[in-house]
Amino acid sequence: MSETGRLQVSPLDRLVVLRGILKDPVVGALHALLATDPSDDVARTRAYADLAFQLFSRGDTTLREQVLAAVLNDENIYLDLTRAEEEPSRTLRMALECDLRNIQAACAGNADDLKGEVCDAHLLPSIQMGVDLNFVVAYHRCVLDEEISAEDLIEEARQEEDVPHSEPKHLQLESEESTPTEESQADEPTTKTETATEDAPQEAPDASEEPDTREADDEDDSKTKFHLPDVNLPKMPEPVANVGKRISNWLKN
């Protein structure tokens, strides 16, 4: 246990095959930082400041890039066997994969996570973490398969990381910050849908009411035409009416 703070187990303490990377100044400083208690102001502040110093000494770079460089340049027993064209055992392969996963866990989070809960953390400079890297895939592609260089791998990771940033632009079409052109384009489908919805109910009643009106008109016309003969019957001639009256009087007498 340190005089300035309590120690804790970090992912880098579990390294076996790649334990040689702890000799790298940046990785060693990261190892010392992760081994300190986040609530110990003195130990955490000193360890973080040492890590920032080691990283800034490398120039304009990021933590993950420097850790990846240490991993890819490490000479270890696994590489010795593959270069000798000997097949590494399953246990050794699993140990290498566990090391790579522990290294990735050590590089997770951001600068604030590394600072911990120290007082006046805002007075400490923020280091650049870099793009997210899959250390297992990176080691296989760059070292074992010799498929790609470390620089190209990092550039490829940057391009893949930039893809999700285009999604908020589409979401801004419905926000207040969208431009008038985007708002009009976004509203066009809604306007057409509303217009079609408004027109449909208006056409439906017209189509359904027309047959009823025509049937009603036809019924009225048929009734009118049916009673016309009774109304327009010609009156009997006056002489015929008089003859009828005479015959009626004669029968009575």
Q: What is the pLDDT of residues 190-224, one digit of tens each?
A: 544 454 445 545 554 554 444 555 555 555 554 44
Q: What is the span of the domain harbouring residue 143?
A: 11-174
- Name the one residue in this structure whose structure tokens are 């097949």: 87
Within a domain: 58: yes
Alpha carbon of residue 239 to chain centroid: 105
The pLDDT assigned to 11 comes to 95
Within a domain: 21: yes
The pLDDT assigned to 116 comes to 83
The pLDDT assigned to 252 comes to 62
Sequence-distant (≥ 6) Cβ neighbours of residue 232 within 8 angstroms: none
Within a domain: 42: yes
Within a domain: 63: yes
No. of H helices and E strands in the chain? 11, 0
Q: Once rounded to an integer, what is the mean pLDDT over residues 91-103?
A: 97
pTM above 0.85, yes or no: no
Side-chain half-sphere CA neighbours of 230 within 13 A:
5
Within a domain: 253: no
**80-90 pLDDT, tens per residue?**
999 999 999 99
Identity of the residue numbered 232 = N
Q: Once rounded to an integer, what is the mean pLDDT over residues 7-24?
A: 94
Taking the C-alpha atoms of residue 182 and residue 173, their distance in angstroms, rounded to an integer, is 6
pLDDT band at 171 (very low <50, low <70, confident <90, very high): very low
Within a domain: 75: yes
Taking the C-alpha atoms of residue 140 and residue 150, their distance in angstroms, rounded to an integer, is 11
Taking the C-alpha atoms of residue 108 and residue 34, their distance in angstroms, rounded to an integer, is 11
For residue 60, pLDDT beyond 70:
yes
Within a domain: 210: no
Are residues 44 and 116 in contact, defined by beta-carbon separation less than 8 angstroms? yes
Are residues 17 and 99 in contact, defined by beta-carbon separation less than 8 angstroms? yes
More confident residue, 11 or 201: 11
**122-154 pLDDT, tens per residue?**
889 999 999 999 999 999 999 988 889 999 999
Total number of domains in the chain: 1
Within a domain: 118: yes
For residue 22, pLDDT beyond 60:
yes
- Furthest-apart CA atoms within the chain: distance in Å: 157
For residue 113, pLDDT beyond 80:
yes
